[in-house]
Structure 1
Amino acid sequence: MFRNVSLIMRWIFAGCLCLPANAQQTGPALNQLRTQFKNPPDSYKPGVYWYFMDGNLTADGVKKDLHAMKEAGISHVIFLEVNVGVPRGKIDFLSDQWLALFKVIEQEATLLGIDITLGIGPGWAGSGGPWVKPGQSMQHLVYSSVELDATAKGSVTLPVPAPVKPFFGEEALTPRLKQERDSFYRDVAVLAFPSPAENTSIDDIYNKALYYRAPFSSANNVKPYYAPEAIISSSSAKPGIPKASIIDLTKQLRKNGTLAWKPKTGKWTVMRFGVRNNGAVTRPAPLPGLGFEADKFDSTALQDHLDHYTGKILKTIEWKHQKKKGGLENLHIDSWEMGAQNWTENFRTAFIKKRGYDPLPFYPVYAGKIVVNNAISERFLWDLRKTAQELVLEQHAGFVKSYAHRNGLGLSIEPYDMNPAGDLELGSVADIPMCEFWSRGYGFNTQFSCIEATSIAHVQGKARVAAEAFTAQNNEAWKQYPGSLKNQGDWAFATGINRFFYHTFQSQILPDTLKPGMTMGPYGIHWDRNQTWWPMVRAYHQYVARCSYLLQQGNAVADILYLTPEEAPFVFEAPVSALSGDSLLRDRKGYNFDACPPTLIEKAVVKNGKICFPGGAAYELLVLPDYPAMSPRLLQKIMLLVKDGATVIGPPPVTAPGLSGYPVSETRVKKMTAALWGPLLQATDMATRKYGKGNIIWGSILKQQMDHLYCSYDILAGILKARGINENFGSDQPLRYTQRSLPGATIFFVSNTKDQAFTAECHFRASGKKAELWNPVNGTFRLINPVKQQQQISLSLSFAPWQSYFIIFTDAAAKEIPGTVATAIVQHRDTLKGSWNVSFDPKWGGPSQITFNQLSDWKLNSNEGIKYYSGTAVYRKTFDAPSMPGKNSNIYLDLGTVQQLASIKLNGHDLGVLWTAPWSVDISKWLRKKNNQLEISVANLWVNRLIGDQQFPDDGVINGNWPAWLLDQKPRTGKRYTFTTFNPYKKDDPLISSGLLGPVTLVWSK
């Protein structure tokens, strides 16, 4: 497998030389780091999305699930019940029987020390249910209009405004919900104005007025924010309806819809405004949980929803707010997938309180009509969205957080996708910010959400950044396994994520003989106890836990802080110039960065020229967005930061957003920009201006080099280098990194981004007299010799394909560690020749005993029981050791190529699981001169057996119904070995490589 033999031993020694217990330490803190890195506490172990399918729950199934998780090294679950592609079960959602089973879940999880995070509603995407009445649901301000002529005779009836078509379509509504939605209507206002001569309208009004907000991650051409150019200059704006000409006729509307008013002269437009349900329903909810989404602007409606859902659960489990290990720990708001709303019963009152003026005359703007002019109308729309954001933060996310805290729980939030607020603003409410990333090649690209969540955590000094990890759809079909996730998982770690929740662990209620069993239709990677490789997965989870543990220590180190504009909705897209790698896995360049929303910058202070936050984050540069509007309050904060010593780069705003205080607010902004930027307002070339103790940097030439609202990374890197600040990390090979700092130590995570081996020259921005390499695959340590070069430390490191390390720098004096062996070059390699005895499991169609004269791929075998086999096969061989190496040498067993995981036993001793390169294990302690008994268990994937079974008639789920033999608990009728609720394969689909392919060799040196 590896042609560069000298590298093999370097990888092996890098990973397998342990520090003895009596080794010199740098202090108690580092000693504790070593101990817990080797065996991380449960709180650092990964989690899963634990999905239940519409009533398919059993006490036996949930207990087996939880015990399988515990055994595999999983310590957290997010509990959600949905309805995707599986026949309904017998336990109705929220019934007494269901609640009793949830109590079993909570008790068993507490017993096992597994923490539960509870989604705040049925389905995966929101907070609602059949108990939510239309008046408590998400709402739109809707409208109808008629044109009246002064010469017309008779009374006029104003049409009842129709509801806006639901974003996910009418088919999402059951007949009951459609009837309730159609029958719900309340009048809000009637306005009249002289009909304009020209019928001009505002572009993209359905989005700007928050009738629709398509999912940014999966829909085409969704804007990360709405361009504000139209608010810049009122002088060139398109004229509209004069505000003074708009009259309020609300009191003239009779109950039967007729209007007790007529114009005296000319033609008038009369608009009737009312409130309608927005059509958002719980999705994809279990049938008894299907209902409207609760109003996201009204905490009273939300409280009523929580009483019906979480309140019932808390009462059932006799929740006592006690601190304990395991059981219910958090509530969870998942990705925002319920569309937008722009109204609530008290919206006008809230708007007046927050914005300082009455929105009533601007209601025609909801319909795209221009009031005063398009600049003024766009300012109103900005205020509308800003008010919506504040209500979401206060009445929804903030209220759920206070509710959770009152009950002794935390709150995690995935603050993205159809969010009407700024992503970073919503995420900042969470105790644990979360994001989502899809398995590479099996879904959407949501990297943006990962940078958003990690930024929120870093700026706030929060230790945990969680992720809905490796989400997949359609063609994933059991193809993912620990080794295939290694590269993307390391990308996530380098991005700043430090807790994985695998999507999905599908709860398994079927008999253990029916595998792969339950699925979530085509969604999610299959990360559950029915996987072929599940008995071996603990080793991989231990790797993830070790990485998660170290990456939750101290604070992330970054120099660049991007300030997001005061805009809602707003998705932060990192400048492409600040990233490297392919479009699906973007890594940070040498200078790390975060993003910060306006509400958090309020908490910043300047210390020693750095922009610092209460949680410990500190940045060298604050980068302003190329966004023309900024509130006087935010601009005043930026001026204060610069005055106190900060360095800020970016363009000056030219106005204030919104209509609050306008036009005085615009005058204040212009005055402040003149004071801060001064001559730079007219500067062409990039220049620096001193202001107080700090600096402002700008020049109109930088406008030509903007990248996603911000100055090009190269410009920022040049500024940092000129100030004598080196990159966080650099290398002559394609490595990714992240850096964290804690008292007395600096931690770097570095990872090979390629499926090839190499030696890399690495440069770290760190101080310290001692450097150690910690291997997260096996929890071992070794000293390495740092070479100081101009405020950086240089190291030569060798990497196997996809391999990763932690490099720890400390200030303690470097001392030799007893037992350390210098890196050696391979001098001997011996291939284990001859035949192998191999045992397959007959229950899955394989031969119980067969001889392989040579190692080969199962898919190429003429025996169909092997060709289509899925599961574990055991390879056995007896061998004599070669001429034994010296006492100070170690001998290793290298498996060569393995598809896909392997566990090893030698002479009855369990040597662990190999799931990633290098595929080697130290066998020195257990090797005998003669008659060594080697046993290698290899697990492949479900793919081949699922393909092979398509040769036989389907005796499984047909037309959404369980088979009769299963319901009647009778013997199975068909010839298939597998049983699953979703099989996308055809009998002629290509098989995948499987088994131990080798060569299997002994490797040692003198």
Structure 2
Amino acid sequence: MNKLIYILSVSFLLSSCSASGNRQQEKDLTIKELAGMFRQPPVDYRPYVWWHWMGSNFSKEGITKDLEAMKEAGIGGATIFNLTSAVQESQAPIENNPWPEQTYRSEAYWEALEHAASEAKRLGLKLGMQNTPGYSTTGGPWITEERGMQTLVSSQTKITGDRLVELSLEKPELPVYKGWGASNKQATYYRDIAVMAVPDKKNAAVGEVIDISGSMDANGLLKWNAPAGTWTVYRIGHAPTMANPHPLPDDLIGKVLEADKMSKEQSLYHWQNILDPLVEHLHDYIGTTFTHILIDSYEAGDQNWTPGFRDDFIRQKGYDPLPWIALKQSSEENEQIGKFDEDFKEVVNRLYVDNGWKVAKEMINKAGLQFYWEPYYGPFNTAECVSIPDLPMGEFWTGGDGAISPEITNGAKEAGKRLVGAEAFTGRPEISQYTEDPAFLKHSTDGSFLSGVNLLFLHHWVHQPFDDQYQPGMGMGWWGTHFGRNQTWIKPGKAYFTYLARCQMLLQESAFVSTKENVLHRSMPDAEIYFVINPADTDLNGRFAFGVKNRVPELWYADRGIIRRVHDWKESGDSTYVDLTLHPDESVFVVFPKNKHGGYPDLVLPAVDVIQESGRVLEGNWKVRFEPKLDAAFEQDFSVLSDFSRHPDPSIKYFSGTATYTKEIEVDASSIGGNKRIILDLGELNDIAEVKVNGENAGVLWYPPYQTDITSWLKPGSNRLEIAVTNNWANRLIGDEQYPADFEWGQDRGVEKGRAMKAFPDWFIRKQPRPSKERKAFYIWCYHRKNSPLQPAGLVGPVRVVEQSLKVYD
């Protein structure tokens, strides 16, 4: 163990905390109330998921199963997205659609959505929706070119002056619909703004630019008495950018545009088209079960014009932008243009904020819903925009430290918003290949909490509309971490989701103060709360200094749901020093109640030290019952624990599912009395284990070290030990690739990114027996090949029973 003396000065900034927040309850909870709920947090604190409905692939049966699985797993709610069946740019939707009549906002769609709301109400879950079809940004089939995002376009004509000029000015080239589901359709809507003449000379001044708009007729014919010299005449107009929300449900591809975000008129029109039908169909659930509307992160591209922009610019900045627009096209070197560019950006931001995002907030709230938003990546000021939504959100992807932008968390603090959400664990295909598990997610989980997040929206939980025999089933193309009811470890994974809920409860019921050196400080009226993580890959044994005095610290372990006293703390100056030992990616809340033990001494375990320990390896035979996710169960004895992926039997080598190891162990009566305990140490396992002792649940181990106290369930003599180990999907999927596909693959993106199913096979559509008996899985995106490396699987051990003698502190 590395010895690291970790002295941290975490300033105590109680005065900067806001007692108000963004929560829905009427009063602040006390630390005593939180302690009482710590083991089993209420549903209100559970994480949410992004629930992706892929094209027309939705069913009432699948909706019910998805929502029931969310409830069982410890998920609190879902945000519905309506996406394409493919979700890769330039890739066609999956062909041979099972439900071609289930188009976006069809009768079948509304029936499914009402069914989802009804089932969510029955289960006590909350629902919301991404506002637009696709995941970005604001638009729909109701947005015509005229109502879409507008951009400046221009043509230029060189002329020689000192004469009457008569010529037709060419109409500017108009944008083309590009990107997702590109149709190369060119815009047809165009309106003239102005005709400006700029002298052809170096460093032309804006005062030399002439507005000759009145000299051109409606057909583009220019008649102008041009002064002497050479001139460039700019015919300036605006046209739709042709930006489209994406990735659209299959029936909408090529038919949808982004709404004009700088026009109040078009914003109102967009939100009326979003909200009015929702309220009409879901009126019984609005504000209770169906609670929020989301705008995902901005991917609509730039917009630099809207009707009325010129007047708005003059009103805000006091001068006409048109001469500058023309001058800027003729020269980028003029120093004064830099000032104009800044003014231009400020006006664009102002219109986005006032005519776009504030209108969204007003309309959504008026409909009885809350506004959730990731306010970044666009031509607007993120710091200002964080204050607008009811829930500001950031995002983080798998493979990183989990931190969201401090612009979001700092802006939320300044705006007095206690809740900060995050799109969590968005995954790239190189990383998220049905290989993810809670242990892998722990690092970025804690990093997100450290950065100020306190409500996670897990990306993703893809809707599974098909029969249960088709697993893992639908995916969001190659994107995302594969949560969902078909995930192998979704049931034992409840331990991980409960960890999220415990953390979120403490973080939501306190106000953000500061983050420093892997320590987050939050405050509530009767307690100071510090969240401490060890993001390193080695143990941390350190002394932490907290800016608190005259308080007794407690350790709240969210992974186990226990609270323990501290005996080796010291005060010096204005700080309290606490010695902590944390394993890699372990975390703990160090809580300082205002009153000793916070008024809940019966919930706080005593502090203990291990004064002596001895361990023994559990040798000999293990009975193992294999329950493959997609095949019949079978049993086999293991004389030695080993990695399944190295086994010669293909049914074990390519196994994905739950394998339950059973053994009888002897325990002496003297080992479990008094100040003694017995720890079960599983050594290496892949990926998550549920432990039972004598038929009683003794906990789920979901990240290393895989150790747990089993003393409470032991009895003298013989004890039955069961260890149910669940691995991920990868090995079964690689096993399938050993055999020819019984469907057609589409575009191949290479070894790292994989390939898509081109079309649902006829045998699937017709519900016929599968032609290939060797292939077990059914999936629309394949990350693996025949020779892809197998993932370690099963219980490798060594499994040890560790007997400890303890010193217990009162």
Length-normalised TM-score, structure 2: 0.89
The one of 744, 750, 759 aligned to 1:961: 759
The one of 589, 597, 615 aligned to 1:806: 589
- Aligned ranges for residues 460-475 of structure 1 at < 5 Å? 460-475=415-430
Summarize the Cα distance change of 1:366–1:72 in structure 2 as closer, same or farther, 3 Å threshold.
farther
Determine which structure has the larger strand proportion and give its number.
2
Deviations 1:659-716 (A, max 9, x none): xxxxxxxxxxxxxxxxxxxxxxxxxxxxxxxxxxxxxxxxxxxxxxxxxxxxxxxxxx
1:141 matched to which residue of 2? Answer: 152
Conserved? CA contact 1:79–1:116, under 8 Å: yes
Q: 1:859 is paired with a residue of what secondary structure?
A: helix
Matched, 1:329 2:288: no
Conserved? CA contact 1:82–1:123, under 8 Å: yes
Letter in structure 1 aligned against 2:414: V
Summarize the Cα distance change of 1:285–1:962 in structure 2 as closer, same or farther, 3 Å threshold.
same
Conserved? CA contact 2:190–2:238, under 8 Å: yes
- Aligned ranges for residues 247-258 of structure 1 at < 5 Å? 247-258=210-221
Letter in structure 2 aligned against 1:740: R
Letter in structure 2 aligned against 1:770: V
1:999 matched to which residue of 2? Answer: 798
Cα distance in structure 1, aligned partners of 2:213 and 2:164: 21
Letter in structure 1 aligned against 2:300: M
- Aligned ranges for residues 687-726 of structure 1 at < 5 Å? none
Cα distance in structure 1, aligned partners of 2:330 and 2:575: 58
1:129 matched to which residue of 2? Answer: 140
The one of 113, 117, 141 aligned to 1:106: 117
Q: 2:555 is paired with a residue of what secondary structure?
A: strand
The one of 508, 529, 548 aligned to 1:747: 529
Deviations 1:739-784 (A, max 9, x none): 0112221100001112333421111122232110111011111111
Letter in structure 1 aligned against 2:687: Q
Matched, 1:424 2:383: yes
Deviations 1:178-208 (A, max 9, x none): 25x1x21111111123322x3xxxxxxxxxx
Letter in structure 1 aligned against 2:717: K
Conserved? CA contact 1:859–1:993, under 8 Å: yes
Conserved? CA contact 2:165–2:222, under 8 Å: no
Matched, 1:174 2:130: no
Shift of the alpha carbon at 1:503? 0.9
Q: 1:945 is paired with a residue of what secondary structure?
A: helix
Conserved? CA contact 1:771–1:807, under 8 Å: yes
Cα distance in structure 2, aligned partners of 1:74 and 1:915: 17
Shift of the alpha carbon at 1:30? 1.9
User: Which segments of 5 or more consecutive residues in structure 1 lack a partner in the other structure?
Assistant: 5-26, 199-239, 559-587, 591-735
Q: 2:153 is paired with a residue of what secondary structure?
A: strand
Letter in structure 2 aligned against 1:295: D
Conserved? CA contact 2:615–2:803, under 8 Å: yes
Letter in structure 1 aligned against 2:683: G
- Aligned ranges for residues 387-398 of structure 1 at < 5 Å? 387-398=347-358
Cα distance in structure 1, aligned partners of 2:249 and 2:592: 52
Determine which structure has the larger helix proportion and give its number.
1
Cα distance in structure 1, aligned partners of 2:632 and 2:456: 35
Conserved? CA contact 1:280–1:293, under 8 Å: yes
Identity within the alignment, % = 32
The one of 309, 312, 321 aligned to 1:359: 321
Summarize the Cα distance change of 1:363–1:446 in structure 2 as closer, same or farther, 3 Å threshold.
farther
Q: 2:781 is paired with a residue of what secondary structure?
A: coil
Conserved? CA contact 1:331–1:409, under 8 Å: yes
- Aligned ranges for residues 918-957 of structure 1 at < 5 Å? 918-956=705-743
Cα distance in structure 1, aligned partners of 2:52 and 2:612: 49
Cα distance in structure 2, aligned partners of 1:464 and 1:260: 61
Letter in structure 1 aligned against 2:784: Y
Letter in structure 2 aligned against 1:77: A
1:990 matched to which residue of 2? Answer: 789
Deviations 1:297-332 (A, max 9, x none): 0122122222333321221122575x53xx211111
Of residues 88-97 and 747-756 in structure 1, the stretch that sits farther from structure 2 once superposed is 88-97
Cα distance in structure 1, aligned partners of 2:134 and 2:180: 17
Deviations 1:876-901 (A, max 9, x none): 11122145323332222222222100
- Aligned ranges for residues 829-844 of structure 1 at < 5 Å? 829-841=615-627, 844=630
Shift of the alpha carbon at 1:957? 5.1
Q: 2:608 is paired with a residue of what secondary structure?
A: coil
1:346 matched to which residue of 2? Answer: 308
Q: 2:581 is paired with a residue of what secondary structure?
A: strand
The one of 336, 340, 365 aligned to 1:376: 336
Deviations 1:384-407 (A, max 9, x none): 110110111111111110011101
Summarize the Cα distance change of 1:509–1:261 in structure 2 as closer, same or farther, 3 Å threshold.
same
Letter in structure 2 aligned against 1:1003: V
Shift of the alpha carbon at 1:362? 1.8
Of residues 145-154 and 929-938 in structure 1, the stretch that sits farther from structure 2 once superposed is 145-154
Conserved? CA contact 2:421–2:454, under 8 Å: yes
Cα distance in structure 1, aligned partners of 2:546 and 2:528: 10
1:789 matched to which residue of 2? Answer: 572
The one of 601, 609, 620 aligned to 1:823: 609
Q: 1:55 is paired with a residue of what secondary structure?
A: coil
Summarize the Cα distance change of 1:335–1:917 in structure 2 as closer, same or farther, 3 Å threshold.
same
Q: 2:655 is paired with a residue of what secondary structure?
A: coil
Letter in structure 2 aligned against 1:104: H
The one of 275, 282, 303 aligned to 1:310: 275
1:190 matched to which residue of 2? Answer: 195
1:411 matched to which residue of 2? Answer: 371
Conserved? CA contact 1:880–1:932, under 8 Å: yes
Q: 1:841 is paired with a residue of what secondary structure?
A: strand
Q: State the aligned residue count.
A: 751
Deviations 1:793-852 (A, max 9, x none): 111112223211000113324799576253223422222221100011266468611110
Q: 1:137 is paired with a residue of what secondary structure?
A: coil
Letter in structure 2 aligned against 1:796: D
Shift of the alpha carbon at 1:174? 2.8
- Aligned ranges for residues 809-888 of structure 1 at < 5 Å? 809-813=592-596, 817=601, 820=606, 822-841=608-627, 844=630, 848-882=634-668, 884-885=670-671, 886-888=673-675
1:541 matched to which residue of 2? Answer: 497
2:24 matched to which residue of 1? Answer: none
Cα distance in structure 2, aligned partners of 1:145 and 1:544: 59
Cα distance in structure 2, aligned partners of 1:334 and 1:170: 18
1:34 matched to which residue of 2? Answer: 35
Summarize the Cα distance change of 1:109–1:254 in structure 2 as closer, same or farther, 3 Å threshold.
same
Matched, 1:913 2:696: no
Letter in structure 2 aligned against 1:455: N
Deviations 1:369-423 (A, max 9, x none): 36xx823222111111101101111111111100111011111111122x10122
Conserved? CA contact 2:655–2:731, under 8 Å: yes
Letter in structure 2 aligned against 1:811: K
Q: 2:198 is paired with a residue of what secondary structure?
A: strand
Letter in structure 2 aligned against 1:938: V
Summarize the Cα distance change of 1:842–1:752 in structure 2 as closer, same or farther, 3 Å threshold.
closer
Shift of the alpha carbon at 1:127? 1.2
Of residues 507-516 and 753-762 in structure 1, the stretch that sits farther from structure 2 once superposed is 753-762
Q: 2:482 is paired with a residue of what secondary structure?
A: coil
Deviations 1:231-252 (A, max 9, x none): xxxxxxxxx3233322221121
Summarize the Cα distance change of 1:366–1:773 in structure 2 as closer, same or farther, 3 Å threshold.
same
Conserved? CA contact 2:54–2:83, under 8 Å: yes
Conserved? CA contact 2:551–2:596, under 8 Å: yes
The one of 769, 780, 791 aligned to 1:971: 769
Over the aligned positions, Cα root-mean-square deviation in angstroms equals 2.3
Summarize the Cα distance change of 1:915–1:757 in structure 2 as closer, same or farther, 3 Å threshold.
same
Q: 1:159 is paired with a residue of what secondary structure?
A: coil
Conserved? CA contact 1:769–1:814, under 8 Å: no
Letter in structure 2 aligned against 1:243: V
Cα distance in structure 2, aligned partners of 1:60 and 1:301: 38
Q: 1:262 is paired with a residue of what secondary structure?
A: strand
Cα distance in structure 1, aligned partners of 2:718 and 2:596: 47
Length-normalised TM-score, structure 1: 0.72
The one of 391, 394, 397 aligned to 1:438: 397
Conserved? CA contact 2:136–2:299, under 8 Å: yes
